[in-house]
Structures are given as C-alpha cells and as structure tokens.
C-alpha cells in the first residue's frame, strides 16, 4: 500500500520533460572510455552473429571512403553527447555492431520506420551501419516466408536467448482479447507475440510513434484499444525512439551506444534517449527569428511562406515538441519538415495525432471535451462560458433594476 502510494507520488513529480546533463566531468568520461575499450575488445573476440555483414566491405561496395566514414563517426560521437576523444571508439563500435543480434518485428504499423531505412535516394552511412547489424529476423526484409520464416525466428530466439535486441515497430491492439492483430499459422496475437519475444531479449527498442505510445492506431476513438510497448512489457530495459518515422540516425545512435557501453543511453521519463529527445524543435529552428519578430505565414503560398516566415499560425507545434530533427535533420541532413515549409506536427510526443497534428494553432483546434462529447475550440468554449455568465449577469441586473430592493434598512419582506 505505502509502496504503491510512494510510487504514485514519485510518478507525479517525475520529470516528463527533458533534462540533459552533458557535462559529467573528466573522471566520468575517462572511466567510461576505459570500460568502452574493454567492451569493444570483448565484442571483437566474439564471432560475427548469424547474418552479420562486414562494415568495411559494405561501405566500400556503396562507394564510401574511409574518410566519409570517419566524418560520420565524429558527427555521431557528438550526437551521442560524448567528447570528441571517443570518435575512434565510436568508429570501432560501428564495425563490431555486427556481433549484436537483432530481431525486428512489426505489429500494427505501416512499416514506415523500415521504409525510412530503405527508401533514401542512396543508402547513407547511418543506413549502411544499420544494415550490417545482424538482423536475424525482419518480416518485411527477409527472403523467408511462411513456415520457413517462423522456423528462422524460433532458431534465432533459441540461439541468441538473452542476447538479442528486440526492435518493435507498431502498436499492440488489446481489444477483443488482442485478436485485432495475429501473426503466423497459429494466429498468435500481437500481444502474446511481443511478450514472448521480449522475454528473451536483452533490451527492447520501440521505434516510431506507434510502438512508443500507440501512435496512429491509438488515435481517437482507438477502436482496437492499441497501446505502446512500454504499456505492456515490464521488467526489461525499454528504449523509445518515437517520431513518424523514427530517424535512422537515432536508431543507429541507440544500437551504437549499446555496442559501445553495453548499456542503454540516458533516458528521459518517457524512456526516450536524451541525446536525441533533449532538444526542443522551436529552440533549434531556423525560422525562430521570424517567430520572435511576429512574422508568420498566414496561408500557404503567401508572401510570408515565400520568405520562410515562421509556421506557428499554420499550426506548427515546435514549441511543445522534443526531437533532434531540427538539428540532425533527415536523410543525412538534407532537410526536415519545417525546412521544406510545413509545420511540426509533434510526431515524437504522446498522443500526437489527437493533440498536435491538427495543423492550426491550438487555440483554433477542435478539442474533445473530457467527456468525449462535442468538439469545440478552447476559445469557443471560453466565449461560451463568458456568454453564459454575461446572460446570467444581465438577467440579474435587469431584475435588480426592476424589482430589487435598495433600502436595506428594513430587512426581509
């Protein structure tokens, strides 16, 4: 009892927002450096797991030079909030990442996160590094299908028990006993599938908004009772990499961090790695000066839009969204949503579809009443209240003027 209460109080005061402490001091980092070196040595001595590929060869095949790779390594070191001296270690860790077995499952999803990895104009180093991880199972990407695929999964689960990292893409429907989503010939529900696979995993990584918080499947009215991984899986380290889609750079960051240190990166209270979700879009946005100056795009294609004005009045939710896409961008820093002229829809925040993605300022958005009833904007609601109060006051004032009793000397009628 007392414990449950302590827990709930703790939860109440638990920072859901990001607090980033990057300066941990000389001593911390030199200790970390030593332990990372030991860890990488151990991984090197391990055989390449099942389907792992050699990174050097993969990079060469795609026409990247060693120099490109080292440039990537130093950018990634910075992204992980490690001192520059860690760059060689990060490069080595990327090379031994193929020792880490990965199982990737898809539940209620659109495969958008897998697509994000695959559909770039040419593979970027982030994506190649992800390619070389020993992907033991990935329904969309693997050749095997049907019973063959199932067998492959069982073998991997057996062989790498307690060692593999489980990537989950998509939400888990809990309605009608989980039967909104089943998998395989035995029609195992998504829920049972996830719990069984999570059981033998070293860590579970939820990629994308759906796996993290339920995302689109869980949007109102959430017909299938969809939830995210962290609502279901208990007793395993869980790392959330939300966004729609999750940025491949952040996926690599998490796996690299794991390869490097053997532990999960520092997480915020939504279990998102702070190195990626410790930044607010609005504070790192190239249009911020226009926000402060009161220069807004008023409608698509207007003079403001041509001049890259702030998208706040078009519903940009950058002020309430934590993600690093304003810094590292997408597709190896080619561009990002606000860069191409449309507002942020808060894809890395819980309930983003219902509460962020309506593409107009919150004051103008139709918000469900807590009762789930009529949709009104907050201002309509407020003006309604005000009108009601005004009418009440008007009636009272008129009645007082006509029938009110001014003389309070003789009390009571």
Partner 1 sequence: MKTDYKKIERMTPAMRIIHWANAICMIAAIITGLYIAHPYYQSFIADGAVDKYVMAWNRWAHFISAIIFDVTSIVVAYLYFFSRFEKPYKKLIPNAKNVKEFGEVILNLLTLNRRKRFDSTHSDSFNTVYFTIFHLLLFFMLFTGLQLYVHGLESGESSIGTWWPALLHISTDWTIPVTGGTLMDVRIAHHITMWLIVVWMVFHIYYQIWRTIFWEEGDIAIVIGGSKFVKDGK
Q: Which two tokens stand for residue 235?
A: 């007793």
**What is the helix (H) or strand (E) element at residue 292, kind and residue range?**
helix 288-293
Q: How far apart are CA 273 and CA 261, in angstroms?
A: 14
**Minimum distance of ligand SF4 from residue 330's CB (angstroms):** 7
Backbone angles phi, psi at 206, to 5 degrees: -95, 120
Q: Among ligand SF4, partner 1, ligand HEM, none, what does residue 214 contact (CB within 5–8 Å per kind)?
A: none
Residue number, 248 or 315, with CB nearest to partner 1: 315
Residue number, 275 or 336, with CB nearest to ligand SF4: 336
Residue 343 in contact with residue 359, Cβ under 8 Å? yes
Q: Is 31 in the site for partner 1 (CB under 8 A)?
A: no
Closest CA to 96 of 131, 71, 125, 132: 132
From 100-108, 117-125, 182-190, 404-412, span contacting partner 1 (CB under 8 A): 404-412
Q: Among ligand SF4, ligand HEM, partner 1, none, what does residue 397 contact (CB within 5–8 Å per kind)?
A: partner 1
Q: How far apart are CA 33 and CA 90, in angstroms?
A: 11
Closest CA to 311 of 360, 355, 265, 268: 360
Residue number, 200 or 319, with CB nearest to ligand HEM: 319
Q: Among ligand SF4, partner 1, ligand HEM, none, what does residue 353 contact (CB within 5–8 Å per kind)?
A: none
Residue number, 43 or 243, with CB nearest to ligand SF4: 243
Q: How far apart are CA 244 and CA 321, in angstroms?
A: 13
DSSP bridge partners of 322: 280
Instruction: Give the max Cα distance, the chain.
Output: 102
- The interface with ligand SF4 within residues 243-272 (CB under 6 A) comprises 243
Member of 43, 107, 210, 310 binding ligand SF4 (CB under 6 A): 310
| Count of residues that interact with ligand SF4, criterion CB under 6 A | 25
Tokens 């060869």 belong to residue? 57
Q: Is 376 in the site for partner 1 (CB under 8 A)?
A: no
DSSP bridge partners of 189: 182
Q: How far apart are CA 332 and CA 354, in angstroms?
A: 30
x-or-dash string of contact with partner 1, 301-320, rule CB under 8 A: --xx--x----xx---x-xx
Site residues, partner 1 (CB under 8 A): 11-21, 278-280, 282-283, 289, 291-296, 298, 303-304, 307, 312-313, 317, 319-322, 346, 349-351, 355-356, 361-364, 367, 378-379, 381-383, 385-386, 389-390, 393, 396-397, 399-400, 403-409, 411-413
């Amino acid at each position: 009892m007392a414990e449950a209460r302590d827990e709930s109080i703790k939860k109440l005061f638990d920072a859901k927002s990001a607090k980033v402490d990057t300066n941990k001091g000389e001593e911390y980092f030199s200790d970390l450096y030593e332990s990372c070196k030991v860890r990488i040595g151990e991984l090197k001595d391990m055989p390449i797991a099942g389907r792992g590929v050699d990174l050097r060869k993969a990079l060469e095949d795609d026409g990247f030079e060693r120099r490109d790779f080292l440039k990537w390594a130093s950018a990634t070191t910075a992204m992980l909030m490690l001192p520059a001296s860690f760059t060689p270690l990060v490069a080595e860790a990327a090379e031994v990442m193929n020792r880490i077995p990965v199982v990737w499952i898809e539940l209620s999803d659109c495969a958008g996160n897998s697509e994000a990895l695959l559909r770039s104009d040419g593979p970027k180093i982030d994506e190649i590094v992800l390619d070389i991880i020993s992907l033991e199972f990935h329904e969309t990407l693997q050749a095997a299908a049907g019973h063959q695929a199932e067998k492959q999964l069982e073998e991997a689960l057996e062989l790498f028990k307690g060692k593999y990292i489980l990537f989950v893409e998509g939400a888990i429907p809990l309605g009608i006993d989980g039967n909104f989503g089943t998998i395989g010939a035995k029609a195992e529900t998504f829920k049972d599938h996830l719990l069984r696979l999570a059981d033998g995993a070293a860590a579970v990584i939820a990629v994308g908004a759906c796996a993290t918080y339920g995302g689109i499947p869980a949007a109102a009215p959430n017909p299938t009772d969809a939830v995210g991984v962290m609502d279901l899986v208990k007793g395993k380290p869980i790392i959330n990499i939300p966004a729609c889609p999750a940025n491949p750079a952040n996926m690599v960051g998490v796996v690299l961090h794991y390869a490097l240190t053997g532990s999960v990166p520092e997480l915020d209270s939504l279990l998102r790695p702070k190195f990626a979700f410790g930044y607010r879009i609005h504070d790192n946005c190239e249009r911020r000066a226009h926000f402060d100056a009161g220069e807004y795009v008023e409608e698509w294609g207007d003079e403001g839009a041509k001049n890259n004005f702030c998208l706040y009045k078009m519903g940009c939710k950058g002020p309430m969204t934590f993600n690093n896409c304003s810094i590292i961008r997408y597709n190896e820093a080619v561009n990002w949503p606000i860069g191409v002229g449309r507002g942020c829809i808060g894809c890395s925040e819980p309930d983003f579809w219902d509460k962020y993605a309506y593409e107009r300022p919150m004051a103008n958005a139709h918000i469900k009443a807590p009762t789930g009833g009529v949709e009104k904007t907050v201002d309509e609601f407020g003006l309604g209240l005000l009108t009601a109060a005004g009418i009440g006051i008007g009636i009272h004032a008129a009645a007082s003027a006509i029938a009110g009793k001014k003389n309070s000397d003789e009390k009571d009628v």
